[in-house]
Structure formats: structure tokens, C-alpha cells
Amino acid sequence: MHGRERRGQQIDDPAALRVGLTPAQLRTLETLEHFRWTLKFVRRPMFLDPVPVVVDREGKRYAVLRPDGTIDESPGFRIRE
């Protein structure tokens, strides 16, 4: 990936972000979207489950959707804006 910057790239297809999420994560995401939270990005660490990150409507609060559909507002890693 020499010469290509990944940070800041946007995926044109929001449905592509949902690929690989568990049914529980998708249900939780659907509920959060009713409260105007959005799926910001998905971390895809090698050999691990995808880690979807959602943001509230003001862009001030971030949370991670765990594989069981629970919401974790303290995921153990820093989320850069």
C-alpha cells in the first residue's frame, strides 16, 4: 500500500460497511439509527471479528457494537475524529 493513504477515505456504499456484521449488531444498529446514530466506520483487524463504530447525531459520542449487539462506549482504543 505504499503511496496510498487509507485514513479519511469514505466508502460510497453504506451497505458495504454492514458486510460481516452479526445479526445482533445489525439489529442494534437499526435501533440506533432511529435515534439518528450512524455507522461511521468498521475496523477490520486481521483474524478478528469486525468492529463497527457508531457516532451520535452531533458527532460527539462514539460507541462500538460488540458481536452480541451490546453497545460499548469505552472500547479500549482511542477513536480519532
In a domain, 2, yes or no: no
Domain that holds residue 39: 26-72
In a domain, 80, yes or no: no
In a domain, 18, yes or no: no
In a domain, 43, yes or no: yes
Sign of CA dihedral 42, 59, 25, 77: positive
In a domain, 47, yes or no: yes
Structural domain count of the chain: 1
In a domain, 5, yes or no: no
List CB contacts of 68: < 8 A, sequence separation 6 or more.
22, 24
In a domain, 79, yes or no: no
Q: What share of the chain is helix, strand, coil (3-state, %, to 5)?
A: 20, 20, 60
> Is 0.75 topped by the overall pTM?
yes
Residue-by-residue pLDDT tens, the chain, 81 positions = 455 555 555 556 778 999 999 999 999 999 999 999 999 999 999 999 999 999 999 999 999 999 999 999 998 887 776
Cell of 3: 503511496
Report residue 21: phi and psi, to 5°.
-80, 150
